[in-house]
Chain A
């Protein structure tokens, strides 16, 4: 039998039948649903008098437009409330399990799925959200889909797909202290560009990836879409099994051990071929800060804002010029000299317990700099309560941070958590597009520790030289 990649193995196992013109009908094991991209899909089903085929494989939560402060059960915004009500009603009518706002399991869809053990190796997982790639950290094939495809999966539990190409990204060497998986993925995107992996499913491999926790692996896979990839994945190993052990929906005990043997066999065969390969020396990476309006516009914290004149082409020079104008930055400004107004620690990229611990460790014994508005929005209610059990919330509030309820919050500003025009934010989220965090807002993407340090210093600082007070 020919040597196969992790992606090949999962793909092959999920082909139900040949679709039209060389496409395949692919079975979907887990469908995650949220309030923003689903109402039109449920409406489409009703109009066509179709039913939800597998409500038992479909799980919903509320995350994108919900408030993260005050009494969040009472949503002030009329349109948001209507959308939330629509999801509740759709779930009731179709028998889909919803983790609603009062549930201790509610959270950002890509934080909730893994922590409940819904996300498992070898699965195909979809959601009407581009950051579904997060779940690939478990050795699953997970990708974002549009609302029409959400409707397709609700009706058939399948999707019609043309098989994407494969790409191997190997991080060799050892990750230096103070450099995180956020820096690995920002470094990769800076190297290959925002369309560097278009049409491909990435498999991340190499010693530096093997050494990462599941939470850190999720951060990498999460931002695969920022390089244009269809999905990102990491072969399951003992770290994966240890994470799954004891999770609510995951198999347990002997069944988990048996599943574990099968899951580990999913790893790419040694002689498997990829359509393309990217090599990155993890040992050469530094903490990254984005300076522009695309995730590829990133520089090491010790670097500076680029000069548009140094762009490789007219279109690149134009892009840099436009980005610097929007970001109100001058060429050659040292990254460490960029001041911030806001700090956001949150999102499906970096709001898991490990992220919050990393940020708390930085600010322990310090105060947030004058005039800076800083907040932590845990990725789920489970993350929030676990952090509170460790007393992390007090470290943040004593330093001057706001400690919020879970949700997508200021990653995309669909709720009231938004940047004001001209405000500059150190953010642990995934997109620094124009207006992403609020019209006219300026976003710099960083790791949780880098964001926490910027809150204390009032500007970006090199976390590798931080004086920890613990």
Chain B
């Protein structure tokens, strides 16, 4: 898994609450069997008009957000479907960080597995970031070791993250490999619960 320690990049503002994974990646792109190549599909129905041209009204198409790698958005981001394709689309588009007041659980889990950091900030801090956006300041630095977001002009906010998510991201852990190290524990568990872990047929 890709490590995450610190990242500096352009922050794009998508000022909406409850952005669901159906919007992040619409269903027609879930039929692929690959794990990459989803960048073009990101926010497809919002980002493109029916004729396939970029929708000039959609924030990510604004010139100041070209090359954005940090997404600033509203509460409960990533709600709905468990589709990891939503995270693959964000990653393939170039996002490494999503900042929001809150995130949906499965989405936040899926982010960790793909080296994307979800940063929950308080409403006042989100408001300050929106004000920076209006003033034309788009660069932010996100430091996972210090659990801090900082930017030009003295903006500084700290955030909380589950310790095991932080460790997984900092070290780029192979989680499956780590669990497999508990092979003996798993086998012992299965021996003790054998009757229950085998459906009668």
Could you list which residues of chain A lie within 8 angstroms of chain B, going by C-beta atoms? 16-17, 19-23, 25, 27, 29-30, 36-37, 39-40, 43-44, 48, 50, 53-54, 56-57, 64-65, 77, 79-80, 82-83, 86, 118, 122, 128-130, 143-149, 151-152, 155-158, 160, 162, 164, 194-195, 198-199, 225, 228, 230, 249-251, 255, 294, 315, 318-319, 322, 412-414, 431, 433-436, 439
B106–A130 touching, CB < 8 Å:
yes
Pick from B23, B84, B201: contact of A434, CB under 8 Å: B23
Least distance between A349 CB and chain B CB atoms (Å): 14
Q: Give the 5 A-B CB pairs with smallest separation, nearest first.
A: A148-B113, A21-B164, A146-B84, A79-B31, A146-B110
User: Hey, what's the 0/1 contact readout for B86-110 against A, CB within 8 Å counting as 1?
Assistant: 0100000000000000101110011
A146–B106 touching, CB < 8 Å:
yes
Which stretch, B4-12, B131-139, B175-183, touches the partner chain A?
B175-183
For A123, the closest partner residue in chain B by CB is B196
A21–B175 touching, CB < 8 Å:
no
Give Cα distance in the complex from A152 to B177, angstroms.
9
Pick from B30, B102, B106: contact of A414, CB under 8 Å: B30
Least distance between B96 CB and chain A CB atoms (Å): 17
For A53, the closest partner residue in chain B by CB is B186
For B184, the closest partner residue in chain A by CB is A17
Give Cα distance in the complex from A436 to B185, angstroms.
43
B33–A86 touching, CB < 8 Å:
yes
> Which residues in B have their C-beta under 8 angstroms from that of A155?
176, 179-180
> Total number of A-B contacts with CB less than 8 angstroms?
192
A433–B23 touching, CB < 8 Å:
yes
For A97, the closest partner residue in chain B by CB is B201
B185–A16 touching, CB < 8 Å:
yes
A228–B79 touching, CB < 8 Å:
yes
B197–A27 touching, CB < 8 Å:
yes
Count B-side interface residues using an 8 Å CB cutoff. Answer: 58
Which stretch, B14-22, B55-63, B152-160, touches the partner chain A?
B14-22
A435–B179 touching, CB < 8 Å:
no
Give the most central of B31, B74, B200: most A CB within 10 Å: B31
B167–A294 touching, CB < 8 Å:
no
Pick from B22, B30, B114: contact of A36, CB under 8 Å: B30
Q: A16-B185, A79-B31, A319-B18 are in contact. Are A22 and B163 (CB under 8 A)?
A: yes
A17–B164 touching, CB < 8 Å:
no
Give Cα distance in the complex from A422 to B190, angstroms.
53
Give Cα distance in the complex from A230 to B105, angstroms.
7
> Which residues in B have their C-beta under 8 angstroms from that of A146?
82-84, 87, 106, 109-110, 113
Give Cα distance in the complex from A435 to B35, angstroms.
24
B102–A412 touching, CB < 8 Å:
no
Least distance between A142 CB and chain B CB atoms (Å): 12
A152–B179 touching, CB < 8 Å:
yes
Pick from A83, A129, A162, A198: contact of B162, CB under 8 Å: A162
For B35, the closest partner residue in chain A by CB is A40
Least distance between A234 CB and chain B CB atoms (Å): 20
Give Cα distance in the complex from A228 to B102, angstroms.
11
For B171, the closest partner residue in chain A by CB is A20
Q: A412-B27, A439-B26 are in contact. Are A198 and B104 (CB under 8 A)?
A: yes
B80–A50 touching, CB < 8 Å:
no
B176–A50 touching, CB < 8 Å:
yes
For B46, the closest partner residue in chain A by CB is A434
- 21 pairs, CB–CB < 8 Å, chain A vs chain B: A17-B182, A17-B185, A19-B164, A20-B164, A20-B178, A22-B164, A37-B84, A50-B176, A83-B31, A122-B196, A144-B82, A146-B110, A155-B176, A160-B175, A160-B178, A198-B76, A294-B20, A412-B22, A413-B27, A414-B28, A435-B45
